[in-house]
Amino acid sequence: MTDRLSLTSAKNIIKHISTPHPINESTVANYIGSDWYVISTEAINVISLESDGIVPKATVESPVYKQAVLLTAKKLFKEAKKENKTKFVFSMHSEGFTYVDLKFYSDCFEYMKGFDGYEFAHAYGAHPHLLNKQYLRKHYANLKLCEGIKILLINHFELMMQGYLLGIISDEAKKEFEQLNSIPTVKPYKFLLYNNYPKLNRTYLVGQLVHRNLESQGLISLNLGHALGEGTRSRERQWEGAVINKMTDTILNEYFPRTGKEIFNSMIENKEKMISFKPLGTPRWELADDEYDSYCGLDADGRDHVRSAYFGVTVETKYFHDRNTTLPSGTMMPNTLDTLYVDCITFTEKTYKFISGKIPFILVGMPKSLHVLRDSGYKTFQPYINEDYDNIEDDELRLVAIADEIERLCGLSDDEWLEIQRELIPRIEHNYQLLLKSELSVLQLTVNRPN
């Protein structure tokens, strides 16, 4: 069934929009003021669940989708009017620019622009940097999103990790963080690489390391269905989805035309190694829902991990550049594999946990990510880590360069790493203290149609 967004879904969206959302619980609302009507995060979750995280191609232009937009917009207008508010903000601290909410609420707000005197805003966890302003302008030009809507870029994940370090953990754990990696020491592993869901870029990178026989030199996780039980058909389907089904000519030619066949064939040959990379520490599915585990912070297991490895490999949320498709009507929409997000630079807990753990790291993300991190005051690790990969626009070549650098760093001796640790301690401590002292940073942008 291609048309997943039903009128029942629209009514569920409206139900969530009507749910009270205390304004003092929202970083966004605290910043922009109490005259804004806050649309809760749960509202968009209904759409995400109904459409597998992205509005299906057939749905975007369907009468059902348009009716859902109309119903939602009318309900928003009615609810705000009851509270005497003329401004709307969608309070979503996402890991980047998620297409599904950009599309749906841009369409809702487009309808509501007919009501004079109303303002609209989106809030995102994308990093507040001018490069993300450029990306937003591109999304407006290509995808026709966000016209006249105020976009708020917020350092949400930086503040989240700061709150974890200052307010959530125990005094004993705080002392442990202060002492982490403050003295050079010989370590059993060269690198630490966390992965959860086996997205294409993550699986490929692990495959590169296995192909180079580097897996024994690192702590590596890759969730190939480990919550599903050993020997189950569901577990095998996870392997097929992550590796076998990605070996089509269409996918490999699009994402890895030079190296894809070699690396994916190597994964097949080394299947036992690939499925051996179980979650590091306590898996998320074994923790209570309210437990702030290594997924978001750096728990006791995570602190052991950073003590055991010389450097980290941070695989951020957004890696591949957008791939767009044009519908028969001329409407363009993204169809990038394994991502909910359109192009942006974002730093999530994946980056900040290594900053809090005080180890240098390679950042596997969009090009110029390290540039943005440095502009934010953090120090990176050139020349001890070759960071030329950050300037490579081609997604495949950037990943190959990252694998090359991991291999080079794995070839360094313990004595060389002791010296590198001594040299990097001032930068590591600077980054940790900057994280502790970070403040709310918000960058605004409103994209309007040129005159």
pLDDT tens, residue by residue, 36-70 = 666 654 444 433 333 333 344 445 666 767 777 77
Structure tokens at 246: 């990605």
The span from the first CA to the last CA of the chain, in angstroms, equals: 42
Q: Pick 362 or 448 by higher pLDDT.
A: 362
**Residue 355: what pLDDT?**
97
Structure tokens at 234: 């569901």
Radius of gyration of the chain measured on its C-alpha atoms: 23
Whole-number Å distance between alpha carbons of 131 and 368: 9
Is the pLDDT assigned to residue 321 strictly greater than 50?
Answer: yes
Q: Could you identify the residue written with the tokens 């994940």?
A: 157
Q: In 279-329, which ranges are E strands?
A: 309-315, 324-326
Q: Pick 187 or 75 by higher pLDDT.
A: 187
Pairing between strand 309-315 and 119-124?
unpaired
284 contacts 297 by C-beta, under 8 angstroms: no
> Cα torsion for 109, 110, 114, 115, to the nearest 10°?
10
What are the structural domain ranges in the chain? 7-124, 161-436
Indicate left, alpha or beta for 6 from its phi (over 0: left) and psi (-120 to 50: alpha).
Answer: beta
Count how many residues are written for the chain: 451
Q: Pick 53 or 171 by higher pLDDT.
A: 171
This prediction has a pTM of 0.87
**Residue 30: what pLDDT?**
52
**Residue 80: what pLDDT?**
74
Name, in order, each residue with C-beta under 8 angstroms of 78's C-beta and a sequence gap of 6 or more.
none
Q: Pick 8 or 141 by higher pLDDT.
A: 141
Q: How many of the other CB atoms lie within 10 Å of CB of 257? A: 11
Whole-number Å distance between alpha carbons of 40 and 17: 6
List 220's β-bridge partners, or say none.
Answer: 193
Could you report the per-residue pLDDT of 358-403, keeping only the tens digit for each? 999 999 999 999 999 999 999 999 999 999 999 999 999 999 999 9
Is the pLDDT assigned to residue 269 strictly greater than 50?
Answer: yes
Whole-number Å distance between alpha carbons of 154 and 132: 11
**Residue 305: what pLDDT?**
95
Least confident piece of the model among 171-180, 214-223, 440-449: 440-449
Of 112, 96, 91, residue with least CA distance to 39: 91
**Residue 120: what pLDDT?**
73
Q: Summarize the confidence of residues 407-427 as an average pLDDT.
A: 98
Name, in order, each residue with C-beta under 8 angstroms of 193's C-beta and a sequence gap of 6 or more.
205, 206, 209, 218, 219, 220, 221, 312, 313, 315
